[in-house]
Structure 1
Amino acid sequence: MRRTGILSNRWKNLWRSVPKVVFNDYQFHKIENLDSLPYYDVDNSVPEFYKCVNETLSQLQLETLDEFDLVSNYGSEFRKSVNKIVDFCCARNVKRFSLVLRDSEDDCRFWIFQNSFYINKHFTDINLRHCLIYPFVTISSNNLINLSIGESQIQGSLIKKNILSGSPVLKSLTFEYCKASLLDIHSTSLENLQLIGFSSDEEDEDFVTIKAPNIMSLKIVGKMYVSDILLEDVSSLKVASLDFLIPRNLDTIHKREQKNVLRGLIQSLQHVERIQIGYSCNKVLSRLDEKGFMKLMTVIWEVLMTNKLKLNKNGNHVFFEVDLGLTVQELEKAEEEAGYGSMFLKMMKMF
């Protein structure tokens, strides 16, 4: 018993030297059923949570942290507390930084103003939700590899000048339920671009245009509140994953336009090596059995002839993966051996 007690005392303060710190306010809500907690609810437990976070950070001893992760409800009254958290992470040279805030109003979202955040050589991964990036400061992060921004408005000039120009080794860029009309991305290092839900920031132009000549992987999933998705330049693209849904209750979107969006995307992706069609897009795909749309049928023939259809789990989405590669002669032979409509119906039964 004595030895156990000594061991406990030695372990008591070891948490002060942990390289990874994770905070989630769900543990502070004083309700039995967390499912009944409103998504944007600033109750009495939130001030207690931020107080605990700052007290805990003040006792950490390591000068460098590998990872910092915070998820919490947020209101403007907690801006000072969150500023202290950002200052702490910059001072402790955090490598992987994640700040996920939940708020109810655009005007109370958290602005990141600290220069030490934007001019930082230690960040390798940044994940921000409901945070606004200061548009007049250019990010200078020579080691930043993965950047994910959610629930924010992204200006085209902000991406090109403020984010990409100062991130020479950035490989993956994710926008989750953000607003923009133009994604002009000419970074030579960026390989992967992901849109997880999206909407346009233009009142008279409810579509999004993507110019990203150097990316090799493009993923478009989630609810897209746009009337069209235009791929103006994705000439280096090798893999495309499509599993998006355009809400039918959107005033500017019609049922016919949903399949036109998918049709246009597939026509713009004729040069890629692999297309992954998810469940949501497959529903729309079934309405594209129209005479004259032969390029889509090329994909279908190749799936049936080579039996390369397979399920591929990617995050929370399931894709039907299609590998391109048949020659024109093989496709013409497939067209002769099976009817246009029957081939499509057989493929739909496979799904």
Structure 2
Amino acid sequence: MSINYDIEFQPQLDNCILYAIRCNVKELYLEFLSNIYDNEFVLDQIFFTSSCLTELRLEGCMLNPVGAISWKSLRKLCISEYWGFDEDLIENILSGSPVLETLVLNHCYVYRRLDITSKSVKNLVLFEYKVSDGDSEADIIEINAPNILSLTLQGWIFLCKPLLLNVSSSVKARLDFSFTKLEPNEVEEEVLKECIMNLHHVKELQLGVVCSMVLSGLEAKGFVCPSNVKLTG
């Protein structure tokens, strides 16, 4: 369901979503497009207590539950284009989604730390990250996900670097990101080198085009690339 959103249609859209939930839909895709910045569709509280959903994709939606989330059957969650994604919301989602396996955050901003300690979540995908203008304290995003098996960092990253605190269970990872801060090449090389070393234990580490180019610069300076690295181009 892709809709050009206008706030005057909120009641009608609420009724459509409520009908879908009452019909016990398992897969729900909601994409709301608005010409007004920060005019995201506000989801009704009943939406956060649907026990039948197994896959959920949300774009342009405001996730502001007034109580606990209860998505007991949800296995895949993809959230896109959301500026209010913070640490409290992450905790609420994980605590209310006991069988969640895949979490995709696409153009979701504000959060500075990802604590994915749920034992059910095995796949984590982060596509693009940006901090508020002038917010220098959020130049590093910390990722603590000790139980995930697969990690993907992709798209433009508007910060200094991702800091992988703990991804010790990962067996597969993909680094396909580009830096948008105007940093010297040496900084990009050090960031990629740190990511590679923190992922030395994975069976397969895929590098996208930009990361592969940065790696070439590292190797020219004597860096020995681990055997698990695969250039995908």
The alpha-carbon distance between structure 1 residues 260 and 77, as it changes in their structure 2 partners (threshold 3 A), is farther
Aligned to 1:268: 198
Aligned to 2:15: 84
Kindly indicate whether the alpha-carbon contact (under 8 Å) linking 1:144 and 1:170 is maintained by their aligned counterparts in 2: yes
Cα deviations by residue, 1:264-297 (Å, 9 ceiling, x for unpaired): 1111111111101112321222221254533xx2
Bigger-Rg structure (1/2): 1
Aligned to 1:298: 226
Aligned to 2:55: 125
Aligned to 1:232: 165
Q: Output aligned runs, 1:137-148, within 5 Å.
A: 137-148=67-78
Kindly indicate whether the alpha-carbon contact (under 8 Å) linking 1:199 and 1:206 is maintained by their aligned counterparts in 2: no
Figure out how many residues of one structure are paired with residues of the other and give that number. Answer: 229
State the superposition RMSD in angstroms.
Answer: 2.1
Question: Which structure 1 residue ranges, 5 or more long, are not aligned?
Answer: 1-69, 304-308, 310-318, 321-350
- Which letter maps to 2:207? I
State the percentage of identical aligned residues.
Answer: 34
Worse-matched range after superposition: 284-293 or 170-179? 284-293
Kindly indicate whether the alpha-carbon contact (under 8 Å) linking 1:74 and 1:101 is maintained by their aligned counterparts in 2: yes
CA distance in 2 between counterparts of 1:218 and 1:143 reads 22
**Structure 1 residue 135 displacement after superposition:** 4.4
Cα deviations by residue, 1:208-259 (Å, 9 ceiling, x for unpaired): 1101110000011111112110000111111001111122xx46x4443322
Asked whether 1:175 is paired with 2:105, we answer yes
The alpha-carbon distance between structure 1 residues 138 and 192, as it changes in their structure 2 partners (threshold 3 A), is same
Q: TM-score, normalised by structure 1?
A: 0.61
CA distance in 2 between counterparts of 1:177 and 1:190 reads 20
CA distance in 2 between counterparts of 1:101 and 1:158 reads 20
Asked whether 1:156 is paired with 2:84, we answer no
- Which letter maps to 1:227? C
- Which letter maps to 1:120? S
Q: TM-score, normalised by structure 2?
A: 0.90
**Structure 1 residue 77 displacement after superposition:** 2.7
CA distance in 1 between counterparts of 2:14 and 2:175 reads 38
CA distance in 2 between counterparts of 1:264 and 1:103 reads 39
Kindly indicate whether the alpha-carbon contact (under 8 Å) linking 1:199 and 1:208 is maintained by their aligned counterparts in 2: no
Of 56, 64, 72, 1:134 maps to: 64
Q: Quick check: which one's strand share is greater? A: 2
CA distance in 2 between counterparts of 1:194 and 1:141 reads 20
CA distance in 2 between counterparts of 1:290 and 1:137 reads 54
SS in 2 for 1:298: coil
Kindly indicate whether the alpha-carbon contact (under 8 Å) linking 2:27 and 2:53 is maintained by their aligned counterparts in 1: yes
Aligned to 1:112: 43
- Which letter maps to 1:203? D
Question: Which structure 2 residue ranges, 5 or more long, are not aligned?
Answer: none
CA distance in 2 between counterparts of 1:100 and 1:135 reads 18
